[in-house]
């Protein structure tokens, strides 16, 4: 790792994200920690050579002080510091402002028609809770901060955090990274508090996105809504250049490679091979979220079956839909719609021997997931919008022997990196996705080999560790770069 040399021996990286890499779960009288899902956790696992501390919400409401102490102690062993948010704040901030307002807006789904729903109150209450939560994160960071530390804030939950941190420590190195798309400024401008949010983020020293387009949209929002001047490096805000840059995330490819060598995983691979011996398997692995285009995926598969009746016993769509944010009404509605559609397709095209769609509302353990990635013929990613989509990378990492085909939505950030080795689709064009399924199932071995080589090179050479190191080094260097720029 380059980090110890660059940052110095005493520096720590404080990772601040809404969700900690582990989630606290009540188990009888005790509390247990379970791994959280999400790309950030796995991406940062690969960072070595420097002390990493996590600050975040433990994922449960813990009103009791004694329970808080138990959890804090358990988290300490994982290098995590909890920010305990009470239930009301979680409802208004996390469920409300983050997941019902920012998340859909950033994924081009607009703002909700009605800000009020079962638990969330009006926009103002949700925004106040958002500020309050960001302030609480800031207090926790400040309570452990030392001068040499680098503070790296993550995602749309914490857009006000840089401002709160800088108010207390103006010299703190603060970076912010968005893991979702940043939408066109024409869409972003609909947000009632659009300016305040931008200004709060602009207190950072470095602002990072997964793709160049997201960075460009952010710069446009700054120029059009705040009247800032833009430069090659970023925008000028309150007399200094705030750097804005694209840093595409990656995965730790070797973790998957090693897993595939484990006897337990090999056994699972054999087991799945036997299970699906007579059929081609198309795999979908997604959080059960509207951005993943699950309805569009099922509709496309239905169309494919309609047009290829002879395939109905020869192919299966295996969809792992990992439950997520089930408190938000939109997510509940989506689950019913998808279940209904899956039932329709299975009813129409199922036979006494087979069921065309095998849909699970579950998360799988890592070994099982690796085995599935390895044995399946096609991976189908139909995101309507997706910051990056690391499932596509993970699939490639596990396909060294099979060389399956990736069908990838043009609206996933990953399409910018894996575009030349995948069938790129517009998930709204159901007929085209159906045709792509057919093309993928019939692709020649030579072409699969060629595409896989291309993808594998990219996935294995752009590791999560590189991503984190590039970002942290750039953040570390920001002060010096600023001085030079402003002298020009
Ligand atoms: C996305 C977001 C992450 C989030 C993850 C899981 O990947 O970018 O910030 O942690 O989804 O969602 P959740 O709401 O369960 O944390």
Which among 287, 455, 448, 282 has a CA at the least distance from the CA of 372? 282
CB-side exposure of 166: number of CA atoms within 13 Å? 18
**% pLDDT > 90, the chain:** 88
297 lines ligand 1 (CB under 6 A): no
Distances (CA, A) of 386 to 53, 183, 414: 27, 11, 8
389 lines ligand 1 (CB under 6 A): no
**What is the band of 114 on the pLDDT scale with cuts at 50, 70, 90?**
confident
Q: 259 C-alpha to center of ligand 1: Å?
A: 24
What does the pLDDT average to over 229-240? 97
Q: Is the per-residue pLDDT at 423 higher than 50?
A: yes
- Using DSSP's 3-state secondary structure scheme, residue 51 falls into strand
Q: Is the per-residue pLDDT at 405 higher than 50?
A: yes
- Residue 486 has what pLDDT? 47
Q: 38 C-alpha to center of ligand 1: Å?
A: 6
100 lines ligand 1 (CB under 6 A): no
Which ligand 1 atom is nearest residue 94's CA?
14
Which residues face 319 on adjacent strands?
284, 359
Which ligand 1 atom is nearest residue 180's CA?
8
d(CA 357, CA 353): 13
d(CA 95, CA 327): 7
Q: Check: CB of residue 175 under 8 Å from CB of residue 153.
A: yes
325 lines ligand 1 (CB under 6 A): yes
Closest C-alpha to ligand 1, atom 3:
38
179 lines ligand 1 (CB under 6 A): yes
Give the mutation target among 16, 19, 137, 289 for probing the ligand 1 site: most ligand atoms within 8 A of CB. Answer: 19
Q: Cα dihedral angle (59, 65, 68, 69), rounded to 10 degrees?
A: 180
- Using DSSP's 3-state secondary structure scheme, residue 362 falls into coil
Looking at 90-99, 181-190, 204-213, 324-333, which range is the least confident one?
324-333
Q: Check: CB of residue 276 under 8 Å from CB of residue 441.
A: no
- Using DSSP's 3-state secondary structure scheme, residue 311 falls into helix
Closest C-alpha to ligand 1, atom 4:
38
Closest C-alpha to ligand 1, atom 11:
38
Q: 225 C-alpha to center of ligand 1: Å?
A: 27
Sign of CA dihedral 269, 275, 279, 280: negative
Residue range 128-174, pLDDT digits in tens:
999 999 999 999 999 999 999 999 999 999 999 999 999 999 999 99
Q: 270 C-alpha to center of ligand 1: Å?
A: 33
Which residues face 209 on adjacent strands?
246
Closest C-alpha to ligand 1, atom 5:
38
d(CA 123, CA 289): 22
Q: 344 C-alpha to center of ligand 1: Å?
A: 30
- Residue 173 has what pLDDT? 97
107 lines ligand 1 (CB under 6 A): no
Q: Check: CB of residue 61 under 8 Å from CB of residue 87.
A: yes
How many Cβ atoms from other residues are within 10 Å of residue 278's Cβ? 10
Which among 92, 36, 123, 160 has a CA at the least distance from the CA of 328? 92
- Residue 481 has what pLDDT? 46
- Residue 4 has what pLDDT? 85
DSSP state of 385: S
* Farthest-apart Cα atoms in the chain, separation: 76
Whether the ipTM is more than 0.90: the answer is yes
Q: 22 C-alpha to center of ligand 1: Å?
A: 13
Q: What is the pTM of this model?
A: 0.95
155 lines ligand 1 (CB under 6 A): yes
417 lines ligand 1 (CB under 6 A): no
Closest C-alpha to ligand 1, atom 7:
38
38 lines ligand 1 (CB under 6 A): yes
Q: 157 C-alpha to center of ligand 1: Å?
A: 9
d(CA 153, CA 202): 12
Which ligand 1 atom is nearest residue 17's CA?
9
Q: 17 C-alpha to center of ligand 1: Å?
A: 10
Average pLDDT, the chain: 94
d(CA 250, CA 467): 7
180 lines ligand 1 (CB under 6 A): yes
Which ligand 1 atom is nearest residue 156's CA?
9
Q: Is the per-residue pLDDT at 433 higher than 80?
A: yes
What does the pLDDT average to over 223-232? 97
- Residue 480 has what pLDDT? 54
Which residues lie below 8 Å from residue 286, measured CB to CB, with a gap of 6+? 292, 294, 319, 320, 321, 322, 381, 383, 391
- Residue 115 has what pLDDT? 81
DSSP codes joined into one string, 204-266: SSEEEESSHHHHHHHHHHHHHHH--EE-SSEEEETTEEEEEEE----B-HHHHHHHHHSHHHH
322 lines ligand 1 (CB under 6 A): no
């Amino acid at each position: 790792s380059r980090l110890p040399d660059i940052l110095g021996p005493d520096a720590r990286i404080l990772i601040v994200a809404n969700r900690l890499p582990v989630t606290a779960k009540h188990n009888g009288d005790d509390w247990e920690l379970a791994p959280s899902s999400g790309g950030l956790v796995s991406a940062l696992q690969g960072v070595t050579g420097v002390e990493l501390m996590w600050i975040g919400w433990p994922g449960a409401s813990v009103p009791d002080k004694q329970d808080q102490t138990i959890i804090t102690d358990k988290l300490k062993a994982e290098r995590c510091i909890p920010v305990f948010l009470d239930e009301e704040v979680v409802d208004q901030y996390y469920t409300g402002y983050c997941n019902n307002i920012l998340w859909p807006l950033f994924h081009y789904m607009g703002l909700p028609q009605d800000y009020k729903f079962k638990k969330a109150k009006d926009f103002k209450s949700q925004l106040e809770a958002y500020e309050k939560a960001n302030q609480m994160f800031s207090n926790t960071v400040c309570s452990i901060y030392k001068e040499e530390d680098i503070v790296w804030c993550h995602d749309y939950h914490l857009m006000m955090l840089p401002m709160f941190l800088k108010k207390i420590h103006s010299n703190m190195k603060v970076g912010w990274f968005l893991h979702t798309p940043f939408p066109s400024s024409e869409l972003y401008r609909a947000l009632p508090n659009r300016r305040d949010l931008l200004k709060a983020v602009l207190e950072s020293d470095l602002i990072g996105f997964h793709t160049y387009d997201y960075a460009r949209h952010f710069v446009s929002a700054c120029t059009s809504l705040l009247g800032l001047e833009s430069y090659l490096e970023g925008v000028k805000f309150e007399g200094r250049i705030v750097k804005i840059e694209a840093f595409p995330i990656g995965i730790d490819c070797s973790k998957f490679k090693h897993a595939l060598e484990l006897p337990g995983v090999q056994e699972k691979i054999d087991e799945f091979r036997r299970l699906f011996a007579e059929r081609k398997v198309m795999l979908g692995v997604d959080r059960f979220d509207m951005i993943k285009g699950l309805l569009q995926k099922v509709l496309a598969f239905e169309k494919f079956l309609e047009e290829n009746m002879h395939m109905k016993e020869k192919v299966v769509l295996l969809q792992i839909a990992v439950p997520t944010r089930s408190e938000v009404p939109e997510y509940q509605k989506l689950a019913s719609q998808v279940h209904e559609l899956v039932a329709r397709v299975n009813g129409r095209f199922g036979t006494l021997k087979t069921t065309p769609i095998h849909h699970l509302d579950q998360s799988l353990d890592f070994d099982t997931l690796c085995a599935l990635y390895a044995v399946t013929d096609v991976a189908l990613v139909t995101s309507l919008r997706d910051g990056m989509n690391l499932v596509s990378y993970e699939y490639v990492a596990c396909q060294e022997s099979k060389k399956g085909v990736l069908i990838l939505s043009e609206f996933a950030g990953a399409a910018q990196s894996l575009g030349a080795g995948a069938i790129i689709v517009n998930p709204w064009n159901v007929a085209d996705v159906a045709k792509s399924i057919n093309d993928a199932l019939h692709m020649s071995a030579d072409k699969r080999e060629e595409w896989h080589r291309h993808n594998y090179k990219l996935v294995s050479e752009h590791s999560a560790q590189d991503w984190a190191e590039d970002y942290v080094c750039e953040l570390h260097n920001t002060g010096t770069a600023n001085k030079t720029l402003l002298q020009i």
